[in-house]
């Protein structure tokens, strides 16, 4: 009887919550051409990512820029590659005139959204992010525009489906990300899973993360910190943020599907053996403790029952 109940609940959850692959298919549209990346400023008042008003925006055709040939270590491939492209900072600097804009949210075709503090010199030096438009076809071979080998992963905590690139890829020198807790690195890294860059959204970091601050008891902001360290790269809230994994509120509030909080812990820290068949692409996040999951559950409950504050950046200030 209990087994039948568990099976029924499992089917219900799968029916209610879209899988990672389903969400990715319905995620942000890819650029009209493989060489085009959109860059925009998030406008004040935006509270839903799918209908968020934009301020200044521009479609950047990478092929019209001065692309450089270089030999770079690509942390996602785990080795050096000859590439042709342009530094991410060069693309952002030409557009980010407002000094209050200090966070670039990199949007990828699969729905991931990876923030990078582009005005933080130490972060940019360590990651050295580069938008590659093409890569060598083999070691020592010619660089071909639009060519990138698929990335195939193995292991019990990884999804076996490949990461596929169409038109460009972000090259970073290390898998490190400043938002990820030190204890989780380098086991967990958003850079392992990113695919084609489609957009660069510029925001004021404090105002952006204030959207996810919904008050509540003392545990809620600590749960938000767990979200920012572990979840924000793939998941959004009320359509604000990433779209690779399911939204934490729409169509169903996740906290209500994982009562008690220990159920959330088991879902996050362990990966089902049939995960690939069920379309569950999330790796087992073994660094998340049961206490962390309990804090995250408190925050999930709060955002599930409270509208997000509007995005309210400071007045425009010219960059120095």
Listed residue (33, 39, 108, 41) closest to 63, CA to CA:
33
SS3 168: coil
pLDDT in the model for residue 319: 56
Regions in the chain scoring below 50 on pLDDT: 1-32
Tokens standing for residue 48:
């839903």
d(CA 103, CA 46) in angstroms, rounded, equals 16
Determine how β-strand 197-203 pairs with β-strand 36-42: parallel
DSSP 137-164: SSTT--EEET----B---STTS--SPB-
Note whether 54 and 43 are within 8 A (CB): yes
pLDDT in the model for residue 157: 57
Angle between helices 219-226 and 290-305 (to 10 degrees): 110
For the chain, the 3-state helix, strand and coil shares in percent, each to the nearest 5, are: 30, 20, 50
DSSP 262-275: HHHHHHHH---TTH
Tokens standing for residue 235:
């998941």
pLDDT in the model for residue 11: 33
Determine how β-strand 169-171 pairs with β-strand 130-136: antiparallel
The pair phi, psi for residue 233, each rounded to 5°, is -70, -25
Note whether 248 and 235 are within 8 A (CB): yes
Q: Is it true that the peptide bond before 186 is cis, omega within 30 degrees of 0?
A: yes
pLDDT in the model for residue 24: 36
> How far from each other are the two terminal CA atoms of the chain, in whole angstroms?
67
DSSP 61-94: EGGGS--EEEEEEETTTTEEEEEEEEEHHHHHHT
Q: Is 270 left (phi over 0), alpha (psi -120 to 50) or beta?
A: beta
Predicted model pTM? 0.85
pLDDT in the model for residue 95: 93
């Amino acid at each position: 009887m209990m087994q039948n109940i568990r099976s029924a609940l499992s089917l219900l959850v799968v029916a209610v919550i879209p899988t990672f692959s389903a969400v990715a298919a319905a995620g942000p549209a890819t650029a009209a051409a493989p060489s085009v990346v959109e860059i925009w400023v998030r406008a004040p008042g935006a509270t839903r990512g799918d209908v968020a008003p934009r301020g200044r925006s521009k479609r950047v055709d990478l092929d019209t820029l001065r692309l450089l040939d270089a030999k770079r270590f690509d942390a996602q491939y785990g080795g050096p590659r000859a590439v042709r492209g342009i530094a991410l900072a060069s693309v952002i600097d030409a557009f980010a005139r407002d000094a209050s804009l200090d966070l670039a949210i990199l949007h990828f075709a699969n729905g991931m959204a990876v923030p990078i503090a582009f005005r933080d010199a130490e972060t940019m030096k360590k990651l050295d992010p580069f938008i590659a438009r093409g890569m060598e076809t083999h070691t020592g071979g010619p660089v071909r525009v639009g060519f990138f080998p698929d990335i195939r992963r193995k292991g019990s905590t990884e999804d076996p489906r490949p990461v596929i690139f169409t038109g460009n890829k972000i090259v970073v020198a290390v898998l490190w990300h400043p938002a990820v807790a030190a204890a989780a690195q380098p086991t967990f890294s958003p850079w392992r899973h990113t695919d084609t860059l489609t957009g660069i959204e510029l925001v004021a970091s404090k105002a952006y993360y204030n959207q996810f601050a919904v008050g509540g008891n003392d545990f809620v902001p600590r749960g938000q910190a767990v979200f920012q360290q572990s979840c924000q790269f793939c998941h959004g809230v009320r359509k604000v943020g990433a779209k690779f994994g399911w939204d934490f509120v729409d169509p169903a509030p996740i906290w209500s599907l994982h009562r008690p909080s220990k159920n959330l812990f088991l879902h996050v820290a362990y990966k089902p053996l049939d995960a690939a068949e069920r379309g569950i692409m999330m790796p087992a996040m073994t660094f998340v403790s049961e206490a962390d999951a309990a804090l995250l559950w408190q925050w999930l409950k709060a955002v599930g029952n409270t509208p997000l504050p509007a995005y309210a950046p400071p007045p425009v200030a010219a960059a120095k």
